[in-house]
Amino acid sequence: MNQPPLSPTALVVAVPAHNEAATLPATLRALHTASHHPRLLARDLPVVTVVAADACFDSTAALARHHGAHVVQLARRNVGAARAAAVAHGLDLLGPAADRAWIATTDADTLVPATWLTYQVEQAIAGWDCVLGTIRVAPHPSLDTATAQHHHTLYFAGRPERSHAWNHPHVHGANLGVAARAYRRANGFPALTHSEDHALATALQRTGARILRTDHCPVLTSGRTTPEPPTVSAPTCRT
């Protein structure tokens, strides 16, 4: 049986990274802004940001530390293992507060909106165990118009009018939040080289977690084919 919802007492932000020196600073700046949103500051929740530097041979780890993130290093070249390592390190850092923490995950080439963490915490307080958000793909010279349009058509197939909620079918590690208790019941992110986010979502469903699928607070992920950061602003959450 599920335990009753508990308001989060702390936040872990987990970011896997493999040679992301070009994009990570922008990601961490966006996360810093999100962690200092006035509505979040009013709740006085500790925020621990952890970058899992996985098999990096560039300055990813040093840049993460420079921008105030904690760093855990591994040599797995495995995004599932990296996400799990970042989460585990963040929960360890929180100590006793970890039991009621909220875990938010994104990617090292992604920009989150300023209210991203605030929105997730508010959904946790409303009783959701997991928030599965959506993405937007940033324009990039290497992303041709036809490919971008094809992605858009497939991605938004079945979306209702904007006045209605979209219970979308997508799962993105770049825009995912989960209560620590629910995460542990589902055994966390598995060590998969891809689709580790889908595997976690499936495990959460099996354990009876309350999952919110929402397009309310999308993140901006890079449309790059070369390691360059997005050059446009992150989307905003709808209020």
Residue 223 pLDDT: 66
Instruction: Tell the CATH topology of 10-221.
Output: Spore Coat Polysaccharide Biosynthesis Protein SpsA; Chain A (3.90.550)
pTM summary value: 0.91
Write out residues in the chain with pLDDT < 50, as ranges. 1, 225, 227-232
Residue 231 pLDDT: 44
Q: What is the pLDDT of residues 36-90, one digit of tens each?
A: 999 999 999 999 999 999 999 999 999 999 999 999 999 999 999 999 999 999 9
CA distance 187 to 24: 27
Residue 143 pLDDT: 72
Residue 225 pLDDT: 47
Residue 234 pLDDT: 62
Residue 235 pLDDT: 65
Residue 100 pLDDT: 96
CA distance 77 to 26: 22
Residue 226 pLDDT: 53
Residue 224 pLDDT: 54
Neighbouring CB atoms inside 10 A of 88's CB total: 18
Domain boundaries, the chain: 10-221
Q: Please tell me what DSSP assigns to residue 227.
A: S
State the Rg of the chain over Cα: 17
Cα dist. 33→93, 141, 147, 173, 234 in Å? Answer: 21, 27, 32, 20, 11
Burial of 191 (0-12, 13-18, 19+ CB in 10 A): middle
114, 37 contact by CB (below 8 A): yes
In the block, residue with structure tokens 């006793």: 96
CA distance 189 to 84: 5
